């Protein structure tokens, strides 16, 4: 079991303003704190042309976090691969891999915002082919860098498994969907005759450890608010089988409630139980979604401490017993 | 004139720390292409004050993407990025267009560009696509310095109003506000006299910022600090100040380790758990 946290987006928002450079200082500070606490991975995220400075260069931000640490893995969930020159991305991954001693991992996302494709002159319909080009270039230049893909579609997740790639699931996915996707990924891998180690299944989850009713209310409010961002970005998840659609563009209120209903908030024991259910759904790596804009840095550090000292040891112990 | 050191590929963080301790005003990443921004980011984390010159290779990517990388480095470094734009394999017309779009994308204005090579926005996606895009985050600096180098730089720079890196056959312009230069030096005690003459000659020619490329910047840095920076720090520098035999070094730690804002301090255990 690996434990990570995310998503560092390096924003300065309308509702939680800070000097834009302060966001990068906090990234470095947070990375050091996470490493000291024994976390395995810090996850970054990428967008282009958003008013709040949402980080457009995960390569550069990752290089900073890697340079500030010695053991921590820095991963991107996701980098928008279709909008960067593939050969250059491959060279950058090789450089990050070499500089960090193998601590960089690359998530390759397709992107979904028209304004980003249009700004970069990339036809949206080419995004799948361009991601393949990026993957090929990265594998050629930096064969040791693990590649992560993200999708909420079972067939796409199965393909990722068949090709030996890890998958990272959205924190908004209900547990039923996580279970189906994890199974699809496992089946895809096992049906592929690839052999070797099974690529990992990682899941972002909205998590907060607190015994204070006021903080509990605050964190639920801010989880809800954090998904308003996705309404602004125009993100949506289509309906699949038993899983309802999550449309942040047309049904904002419903999508927000659905996303927030996945949150695991409470005492250390309550959070441990909730996360155990996620692990039992077939998840190998938990990525705690604790970077929410309303939470000031001391609160984020406090929850990182509590996760590391009160929750992760319980989950590791159970894993040992199960094994 | 202010002096800096060119960093060795793979040794950037250590070299940059030596340069900063050696009173250098700037350091330059020499790793090109995909290694450039990872190296520059490592330098940003390893130092606090030096300006960080990062090579930006035109033709390697969309100019807007290159601008985003520069802007993120500028934020990560607290406003210390300098873009050394290399025209690469582009011809003069192509380099001029890419340079213009790169500059536009680093300004605090919406970007709209209609050229031979690029259209921003492209007008290919979305029914309500905006007529311009705002490239974010904005740089921390009022304006990120752009210096030009490469085969067609002398043909492109003056017309664009972008200064061309002097050295290697390119003369310094003594009327420019900022005139960067690149100079190969021996960077050792044995070459000190020759290095001093070369640096003084560049200062006389009108360079304002010179990047010294020495075989080992950690060897060169203390010599730069003691002999070269003072030499060009005032007219008629009295060399006796640098060349006199000093008393032994002060006992105890060489430097005060500052408060929590000092990255060196929190890396050594002041903040965190």
Per-residue confidence of chain A (323 residues) as pLDDT tens digits? 999 999 999 999 988 899 999 999 999 999 999 999 999 999 999 999 999 999 999 999 999 999 999 999 999 999 998 999 999 999 999 999 999 999 999 999 999 899 999 999 999 999 999 999 999 999 999 999 999 999 889 999 999 999 999 999 999 899 999 999 999 999 999 999 888 999 999 999 999 999 999 999 999 999 888 887 777 777 776 676 666 777 777 777 887 888 888 999 999 999 999 999 999 999 999 999 999 988 999 999 999 999 999 999 999 999 988 77
Decide if B247 is inside a domain: no
Chain A and chain B share a number of CB contacts under 8 A equal to 174
Decide if B264 is inside a domain: no
What CA–CA distance (Å, rounded) separates A86 from B61?
Answer: 9
Task: Check which CATH number belongs to the domain holding B171 and give it.
Answer: 3.20.20.30
The string of DSSP codes covering A242-309 is: TBPPEETTT-HHHHHHHHHTT-EEESHHHHHHHHHHHHHTT-SEEEEE---TTS-HHHHHHHHHHIII
What CA–CA distance (Å, rounded) separates A34 from A42?
Answer: 8
What CA–CA distance (Å, rounded) separates A60 from A66?
Answer: 10
Q: Which residues in A lie closer than 8 A to residue B266 (C-beta atoms)?
A: 29, 32
Decide if B255 is inside a domain: no
Interface-testing mutation among B34, B46, B81, with chain A (most A C-beta atoms within 10 A): B34
**Which ipTM score applies to this complex?**
0.95
Which residues form the domain of B93?
A: 2-238
Question: What distances in angstroms separate CA B165 from CA A109, B87, B176, B194, B211, one per listed residue?
Answer: 38, 12, 11, 22, 10
Domains of chain B: total: 1
What pLDDT, on the 0 to 100 scale, is given for residue B256? 55
Decide if B198 is inside a domain: yes
Decide if B246 is inside a domain: no
Interface-testing mutation among A22, A119, A233, with chain B (most B C-beta atoms within 10 A): A119
Decide if B120 is inside a domain: yes
List of domains in chain A: 2-215+263-322 (3.20.20.30)
């Amino acid at each position: 079991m690996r434990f990570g946290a995310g998503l560092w987006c390096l924003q300065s928002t309308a509702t939680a303003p800070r000097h834009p450079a302060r966001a990068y200082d906090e990234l470095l500070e947070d990375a050091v704190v996470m490493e000291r606490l024994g976390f395995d991975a810090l996850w970054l995220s990428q967008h282009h042309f958003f008013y709040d400075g949402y980080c457009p260069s995960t390569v550069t931000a990752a290089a900073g976090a890697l340079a500030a640490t010695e053991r921590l893995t820095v991963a991107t969930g996701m980098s928008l691969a279709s909008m960067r020159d593939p050969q250059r991305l491959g060279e950058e991954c090789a450089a990050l891999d070499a500089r960090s001693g193998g601590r960089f991992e690359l998530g390759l996302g397709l992107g979904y915002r028209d304004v980003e494709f249009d700004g970069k002159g990339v036809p949206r319909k080419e995004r799948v082919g361009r991601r393949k080009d990026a993957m090929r270039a990265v594998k050629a230049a930096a064969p040791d860098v693990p590649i992560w893909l993200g999708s909420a579609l079972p067939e796409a997740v199965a393909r990722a498994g068949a090709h030996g790639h890890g998958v990272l699931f959205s924190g908004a996915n209900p547990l039923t969907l996580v279970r189906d996707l994890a199974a699809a990924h496992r089946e895809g891998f096992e049906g592929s005759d690839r052999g070797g180690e099974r690529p990992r299944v990682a899941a972002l989850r909205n998590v907060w450890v607190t015994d204070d009713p006021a903080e509990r209310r605050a964190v639920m409010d801010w989880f809800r608010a954090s998904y308003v961002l996705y309404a602004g970005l125009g993100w949506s998840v289509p309906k699949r089988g038993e899983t309802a659609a999550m449309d942040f563009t047309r049904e904002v209120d419903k999508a927000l409630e659905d996303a927030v209903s996945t949150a695991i908030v409470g005492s250390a024991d309550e959070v441990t139980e909730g996360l155990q259910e996620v692990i039992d759904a077939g998840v190998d790596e938990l990525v705690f979604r604790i970077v929410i804009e309303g939470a000031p840095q001391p609160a984020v550090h406090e929850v990182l401490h509590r996760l590391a000292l009160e929750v992760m040891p319980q989950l590791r112990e159970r894993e040992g017993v199960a094994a | 004139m202010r002096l800096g050191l060119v960093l060795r590929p793979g040794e950037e963080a250590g070299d940059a720390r030596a340069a900063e301790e050696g009173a250098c005003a700037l350091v330059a990443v020499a790793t090109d292409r995909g290694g450039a921004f990872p190296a520059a980011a490592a330098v940003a984390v390893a130092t606090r004050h030096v300006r960080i010159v990062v090579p930006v290779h035109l033709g390697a990517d969309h100019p807007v993407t290159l601008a985003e990388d520069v802007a993120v480095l500028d934020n990560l470094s607290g406003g210390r990025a300098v873009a050394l734009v290399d025209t690469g394999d582009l011809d003069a017309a192509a380099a001029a267009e890419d340079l213009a779009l790169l500059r536009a994308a680093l300004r605090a204005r919406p970007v709209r560009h209609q050229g031979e090579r690029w259209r921003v926005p492209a007008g290919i996606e979305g029914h309500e696509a905006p007529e311009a895009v705002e490239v974010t985050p904005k740089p921390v600096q009022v304006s990120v310095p752009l210096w030009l180098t490469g085969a067609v730089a002398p043909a492109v720079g003056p017309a664009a109003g972008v200064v061309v890196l002097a050295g290697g056959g390119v003369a310094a312009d003594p009327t420019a506000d900022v005139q960067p230069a690149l100079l190969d030096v021996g960077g050792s005690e044995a070459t000190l006299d020759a290095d001093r003459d070369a640096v003084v000659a560049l200062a006389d020619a009108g360079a304002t910022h010179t990047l010294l490329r020495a075989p080992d910047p950690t060897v060169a840095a203390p010599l730069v600090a003691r002999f070269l920076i003072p030499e060009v720090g005032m007219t008629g520098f009295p060399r006796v100040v640098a060349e006199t035999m000093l008393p032994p070094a002060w006992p105890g730690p060489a430097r005060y380790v500052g408060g929590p804002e000092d990255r060196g301090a929190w890396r050594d255990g002041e903040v965190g758990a």
